[in-house]
Every structure is written in structure tokens, then in C-alpha cells.
Amino acid sequence: MEKSEFTNKIKNLATQVEQYDGKLNTEEATKNALIMPFFAALGYNVFDPTEFVPEFTADFGSKKGERVDYAIVINGEVQILVETKELTDDLLKKDSQLFRYFTATKAKFGILSNGNTYKFYTDLEEPNVMDSTPFLTVKLSDIKDTQITELFKFAKENFDVANITDSASDLKYVGLAKEYLETQMKTPSDEFVRLVLTNIYDGIKTQQIIEQFTPVISKGFNQIISEEVNSKLSNALNQTVVESAKDEKESITKVKEDNDQIVTTPEELESYAVAKVVMKDVISPDRIVYRDNHTYFNVLVDDSNRKWVLRIFFHATRNFIVLHDDNNTELDFDNPVDIYDYADQINKIAEQFK
């Protein structure tokens, strides 16, 4: 199975998760509608009880008759245990059963899922004892390309314990570090603020000083990330504008013949490139076009005026976009790259034209 084929299957399944939201109220319904199709996408025969074993017995000590929802057998050995919950379950502190099953078998990996979120566990810290923290957590409704790459390692034809284990440690601790830093970025703890102040502030770190510097450090975090993202995005967009101009055999300042001349500026083309980047996971970029008008710059789908997503206005005192929603919402920006900050709102509009 090619990775592109697998990616399409996973993204289609992510769409089904959204369709079933609020409609699957039992664990059994979640299994049939989402969890079994997920493992089928990985290449397992979910209807072969010798490969995808339902209600697998995993006795633990004095507890007999313990059953895990599914066990996946590869090359005659149980390699993966799967414990399932219903779609509405948040999975918080629901790994205790899987922990017992893991210890009672020779399985190398445990998966806890509600059909949308999949938590992957192994035994990095102590052999044959499942770690309390998953090394990989994937939410299909918000899946990232890097996560699809990691999921692809669990496909039947790719499955290799050593290969997955080698990357599991980095995945786990990079993920935990990222989670910690994201938390500190939003709401720095006193301990974290004190650590930073040790390197930038010579005075006594009283509680009042810590409280004074907490928003300063949070703002500094956000500025670093914003500047880095804007720098990378600007470079990518500049290249996109150049390539777009070359492909369409247009100059950077395209002049359209109309009753009056309409000049498409570099800023408008850059805004168009940002919009394409924003919507690329929702709408195929080749369906996204622009039309320049006297008073605004229009971004549309399928070159249809009825399918406009946003209109971009550049004025001397104000730059803003208007969204194609019920309220024609206006959102201000300074530079074209800032339009990326409204990705969620823009993609919500684009969804209706998929």
C-alpha cells in the first residue's frame, strides 16, 4: 500500500468522525463505524478472527476471564492490544484496563481509542510494563501529516517492532516537552518564570516580581513563535507568488482590461498565495482562483462568484478581509501574511465548497 493511498483513507475516516459526531452513543457502534475501519485502513483483516481477535482473553493474576476488546496477531504472535471506548468518551484515566492486559501478555504495543483519538503505548521505561504516558496520540479530526507518517509504521505490511520502538522514545518525550512548553507559553508557572528571571533579572525574585514578569514572558514566547512562523511563511509565499506568475505567464503587476484598468498588486497576489496555503487541506489549490475588482480582491472556488470565500481590501488607513458568512465578518490585518492567523475561520467557509 502506497503512503498516498493510506493518507487518503485516513483523511476520509477523519471526515466520517465529523459526520458521526453526536450520533454514536455506544461503544459497539463506535467499534463498527470507526475503529474497525481504522484498522482496516492499516491493512488488517478485521473479519479474520485469527488476525484481528475480538474479546481476547488476557488473565491477570487472580483475575480470570479478563478480555481486551481486540488483539492483533502478526506472524503468529500477539503484537498489539486494542481497548475501545465510545466516541463521546474523553479517554482521561481510562488506560488502567489496558495496563493490566499489557502486563499479562507479550504484546509490544497497546492502543486506547474512542474512534477519534488513538493513544499508543509501549514499555519504554520498564520491560513488559506499559508506560503511563502514550508515546503517540493522534486525533483523526485534527490529524497532522507527521502523525500520518507515524501511523503508517503500524500498517500491516510495514509493521516492525524495532523500527517503531526506535522512534517511540523521541516521539514520547518530544511530545511531552512540547506539551509542557505550550502550557508555559500560555500560562507560565511561577517555577518557570523564576527560572527565566534567573538569567535576565538581577534583583530579588519576590512573588510580586514573578507576577509582574509572568505576562512579559508569555508575550515573549508568542513573539518568538510569531516571528519565526511569519518568516518561514513569507519565504514560502514569495516563492509561491513567483511560481504562480510564471505558470500563468503573468507579470507581478497584472493589468486586466476592463472599462478601466485594474492593477493587481504584489500585496494582492501575496494575499492570494496565503489564502491558497490556508485552504490547501480543505480545497484543492487548483480550484482556488482570484478575481480582481475595482474595490476589492476576490478569492473564489471553481471560478464561481457564488463560491467566494473571502474578499480582501487594501485601504490607506485599514487592511481587512470579509468572510462569506451570514454576517460578512470583517477581520483586520497589517500584512498579507497575517491572513494566516484567520485560518480556522477561512476554512470553515471553505468547507461548504468541498
Mean pLDDT across the chain, nearest whole number? Answer: 87
Residues 6+ apart with CB under 8 A from 141: 14, 17, 18, 116
Cα distances (Å, whole numbers) of residue 326 to 35, 88, 295, 323, 340? 36, 30, 21, 9, 21
Of 240-244, 262-266, 345-349, minimum mean pLDDT range: 240-244
pLDDT at 170 over 70: yes
User: What mean pLDDT comes out for the span 86-107?
Assistant: 86
Convert the pLDDT of each residue in 228-242 to its tens digit: 766 666 665 566 555
Report the percentage of the chain scoring pLDDT > 90: 52
Q: What is the pLDDT of residue 91?
A: 87
pLDDT of residue 243: 57
- In the chain, DSSP finds a helix count (H) and a strand count (E) of 10, 13
Q: Is the pLDDT of residue 345 over 70?
A: yes
Tell which residue, 267, 264, 271, 274, has the closest CA to residue 236.
274
Is the pLDDT confidence value at 32 over 90? yes
CA dihedral 311, 19, 21, 48 (to 10 degrees): -140
**In this predicted model, which residue has the larger pLDDT, 102 or 309?**
309
* Higher per-residue confidence, 281 vs 209: 209
Candidate from 33-37, 56-60, 317-321, 328-332 with smallest mean pLDDT: 56-60
Looking at the predicted structure, is the pLDDT value of residue 246 above 70? no
Q: What is the reported pLDDT for 196?
A: 92
Q: Has residue 351 got a pLDDT over 80?
A: yes
| pLDDT one-digit tens code per residue, 318-330 | 999 999 999 999 9
| Mean predicted confidence (pLDDT) in 185-206 | 91
Q: Which of 108-117, 232-241, 260-269 is least confident?
A: 232-241
pTM attached to this predicted model? 0.62
pLDDT higher than threshold 80 for residue 168: yes
- Structural contact between residues 321 and 330, judged by C-beta atoms closer than 8 angstroms: yes
